[in-house]
Every structure is written in structure tokens, then in C-alpha cells.
Amino acid sequence: MNRDRASRRLPVIMSFVFGLMLTIMPLPQTIEPFRPDWLALLVIFWTMQLPRTWSVGSAWIVGIVLDVSQGTLLGQHALALCCVAFVTVRIHLLMRVFPLPQLTASVFPILATYQFLLFWINGVAGINAPAVTYWGPVISGTLLWPVVMIFLSGLRYRTRSGA
């Protein structure tokens, strides 16, 4: 891998590491159910922007790392993030031309699908959780999407232009 390709991949990898840190960072018990799915938001963004480089395979790796770090069923987040990446790749050309409010509205069902898959897998495994632990991250992630989108778009522009 040449230096140019490595320098383009480094910001993406660092954003996933930072997203993992935000995911495992302890929060007060009252706001814990509303923690956004940082890695799902990052998978949506990078899959939408760079679908040939960051797609289902990279989502699988990120999901396995998330499963190991949180001690959940192995493959639970990996499967859900793969589905998120697949849906995003399928509609990435549409999503890239959406204005920000419409893009935010399209991120909501993707995050809801991610949480539904986690809910379904937990149900099959016999793990019960209150409904707020599934709907809280969807709502907070949707509300934070414009901030994440603007920040990461600026980061991507700076790395692409070499500034």
C-alpha cells in the first residue's frame, strides 16, 4: 500500500477508533439509554462517502471489535452493522444528493433497522431490555446526525485536499 492510500485511510480508521472510545466511555445512568450508536453513524457516513473502500467487510470488522469490547453475543453488532452498510451502499447515490434535512430523515430508518436487528437477536438469545434502550439511541443518533455529517465532511475535505 503506498503512502497516498494509507494517508487517505488513516482519518477513517481514526474516526472508528474515536467512535469506539465514545461507545465504551462510561456515562451517567440517566443518560446511558440515550447514547448514540456512534459506530453505526460512522459506518453510514463512510459507506455513503466511500462505498468501494468502506463497505460490508469493514462494517463486519468494526462490528466484531464492538462485540468483543462490549462483551455481547459475538457477531450481533457485526451482523447489524453489515446490514446498515449494505442498505447504505444500495442507496448511497441517492443519499449523497439529499439535502441535510432529508438525509437526516433517511438516517432514522437505517438506525431503527440497526436497533431492530439487535432487539431481534437479543430476543432470540433470551436477553430482555427496556424499550428505551432500543429507541433512545435511534432518536439521539438521528438528532446528532447533522453535526456528525458536517464534522466528518469537513474532515474528509481537508484530508482529500491535503490541507
DSSP string, the chain: --HHHHHHHHHHHHHHHHHHHHHHS---TTTGGG---HHHHHHHHHHHH-TTTSSHHHHHHHHHHHHHHHT--TTHHHHHHHHHHHHHHHTHHHHTTS-HHHHHHHHHHHHHHHHHHHHHHHHHHT----THHHHHHHHHHHHHHHHHHHHHHHHHHHHHHT-
What pLDDT score does 163 carry?
52
d(CA 42, CA 128): 27
What pLDDT score does 27 carry?
94
* Residue ranges, the chain, pLDDT below 70: 1-6, 159-163
What pLDDT score does 157 carry?
76
> Are 85 and 49 a contacting pair, CB within 8 Å?
no
| Residue 101 Cα distances to 39, 98, 142, angstroms | 21, 8, 10
Predicted TM-score (pTM) of the model is 0.93
d(CA 84, CA 35): 18
Structure confidence by residue, pLDDT tens digits, 23-35: 999 999 999 999 9
